[in-house]
Amino acid sequence: MPSKNKLRAYALVHSAGAYSAGDHASLQAAAALASEAGGEAHALLLCTAANVAPNVLAAQQARVDSVSVFTLPESESPLQPQQVADLFASLLANTEPDTDDAGDGVASVIFVSAGTIAEEAAGAIAARIDALPLGRPLRMTPDEQGILHVVRSGFGGRLEIAQRVTAARCIAAVRAPGSADEPARNEGREADAAVRTLPCPPLAPAYPVTMGASGENEANLEGARLIVSGGRGMGSEKGFELLREVAARLDGATAGSLPAVDAGWTSVSRQVGQSGKYVSPAIYLAVGISGTPQHLAGIDPHTRIIAVNNDPDAAIFGVASVGVVAAWEEFLPALLEALPASGSASPAS
Amino acid sequence: MHVVLMLAGIADPKKPLERPSSGEWKDILDTPVTPFKLSPFDEAALELGLKLRDTDPSVRLTAIVTHGARDLALMRTVASHRLDRVIGLPPPAAKRAEPRWLAEHALGAMRGEPAPADLILIGREHGDLDDGMVPAFLAATWQLPFLGLAQAVRAGDPDGWMAERTGRTATETFALSRPAVISITNAKSNRLRHPLMKNVLQAKQQKFEILEPNADIAYARVETVSAEPPASFARGSAPCEMLEGSVKDQARKLADLLSQYASGDNHAK
């Protein structure tokens, strides 16, 4: 019977500006996996000086075994993904070798918190350190031999694919657990990780970039408690103007499905789904959205979906908790008429 | 100027996923039954390649089709845009989730071209198993500059590329040196055009070159053990409460519900 493989989990955290709990999802995932596998968890942080203390605290509270920090120079421009990848690859190069003192293999599982820049950087890090990119796994479990078993979503969310990973190094993006998820599994771990600060190596030059006007003056999707989203069934950009008005009345944000983005009715930065943003508002008001697995994959399972669709057989009604069968052209103006004036729906803060 | 398009078919999202004849869903990687289509991201990448050729007719366009390369209809769809060369590079089932294989053999395919690539365009997700890490992985493996999620690309001065994308707060235009890898996302401005009928007919006569690299496929860092459709969403287990009445009645009921949520009353039904 083969001896048990050893496992080392790394959490990569890049925090230069404002940060949220979602930025620390990698810490929770690394500590949980290490706890389950009886292995080690290490946090590797890229922070500006002002952000070192809270991020170190977050890492210690996640009960990792060690914290290594690169303190970034203050800059008006955020790091670009290839620069983030360079720095993390450099930090990872300073970590333990892939074998232990006895010469036995140690598998490294590297986590980043899900997000566009982090995931782009993760792909580049994987190439730099010869790690296997695993995308955004749904579940990761070590078996008794220490082999990692991963379940991934594939084929537009239509299949869950179970894989056995024997790579010496792999990298995955993880999301912050929802409020109703199991608590982090970091039992038996201490919150006293040693911290070492390393000199930050020189950054490679960033790609020159010119910023233009966005033309957008809407609430961010991230952190929105209520999202009003439109799909192919909206038929035109005109419907999205009404959706924006509904969202503004309710202090919410707007979003769209892939076909709506494709049609140019809303921006790609507001695309929700397997290929777009993952959102976890309390309410997701889906208008003219059929409810494909690809779209639903971008909505937290704990979010309450309210669906408006003129097709009573639309799949969205199978996952919605409240439904309205109506044409948006008639329904949205009536809804706007029934809603309180802008801002009065929420208590003053 | 030479532009390479890295394209991967995906199982047609408008058709139900068909179970392989073996009955085992995991065999879908080796013996796919559902026809392949280009993803909206790959269509956008193809369209941007065509736009570059519209601007400069001397642009050479090569497509390397990976997943779905044995699907003749998919290959013909790609070829119907009158590309200079369409190459198939189907990854073995054991390598479908291994971008290292793709990086090595796509580079080999590009080396067979008469001119080196100045630009490699790829959809933001490559095939049915990628969540978006593959394009950056390929660029880093090839040690080329990379920009993700671009919506437009044009030649820049003097020998670079200008790529535009929508950032969180503004549109961003990046300058990249040549050669570069740019991943493309969908937008209204890059929807794939319809091919000319004469080119569609020509593509039907075309024979496609399928590369089957004699690589060691026995060793894999990742092995697919099983695949199953996901269990039903927990949120779908309770029946949907349909709001009844006239449109005005429905709107009033929903407005009440939404207002309660907006005011922080999460117990609203």
pLDDT in tens, chain B (269 residues): 999 999 999 999 888 888 999 999 999 988 888 999 999 999 999 999 999 999 999 999 999 999 999 999 999 999 999 999 999 999 988 888 899 999 999 998 998 888 899 999 999 999 999 999 999 999 999 999 999 999 999 999 778 999 999 887 788 999 999 999 999 998 889 999 999 999 999 999 999 999 988 666 656 789 999 999 887 655 666 789 999 999 999 999 999 998 877 666 554 44
Amino acid at A277: K
Q: Residue A2: is its pLDDT beyond 60?
A: no
According to the model, what pLDDT value does residue A341 have? 76
Identify whether the C-beta of residue B72 lies closer than 8 Å to the C-beta of residue B88. no
Q: Residue A179: is its pLDDT beyond 50?
A: no
Assign A332 a pLDDT band (cuts: 50, 70, 90). very high
| Residue B268 in contact with partner chain A when CB distance is under 8 A | no
Q: How far is A345 from chain B (nearest CA, A)?
A: 6
> What are the beta bridge partners of residue A305?
A284
**Higher-confidence position of A215 and A261:** A261
Listed by number, the residues of chain B in 144-173 with a beta carbon closer than 8 Å to a beta carbon of chain A are: 145-149, 151, 166-173
Q: How many CB atoms lie within 10 A of CB A215?
A: 9
Identify whether the C-beta of residue A337 lies closer than 8 Å to the C-beta of residue B251. yes
Complex ipTM, two decimals?
0.91
Q: Residue A98: is its pLDDT beyond 80?
A: no
Identify whether the C-beta of residue B7 lies closer than 8 Å to the C-beta of residue B38. yes
pLDDT tens by residue, A190-220: 667 889 998 889 999 999 999 987 656 677 7
A214 contacts on B by Cβ (under 8 Å)? 166-167, 169-171
Rounded-to-integer distance, Cα B64 and Cα B67, Å:
10
A212 contacts B173? CB cut-off 8 A: yes
| A74, B85, B106, B108, B145 from B112: Cα distances, Å | 46, 11, 10, 7, 22
B176 contacts A324? CB cut-off 8 A: no
| Two tokens, residue A73 | 């120079």
User: What does the radius of gyration of chain A's CA atoms come to, in whole angstroms?
Assistant: 22
Q: In this structure, what DSSP letter does residue A21 have?
A: G
Average pLDDT over chain A reads 86
B166 contacts on A by Cβ (under 8 Å)? 214, 267-269
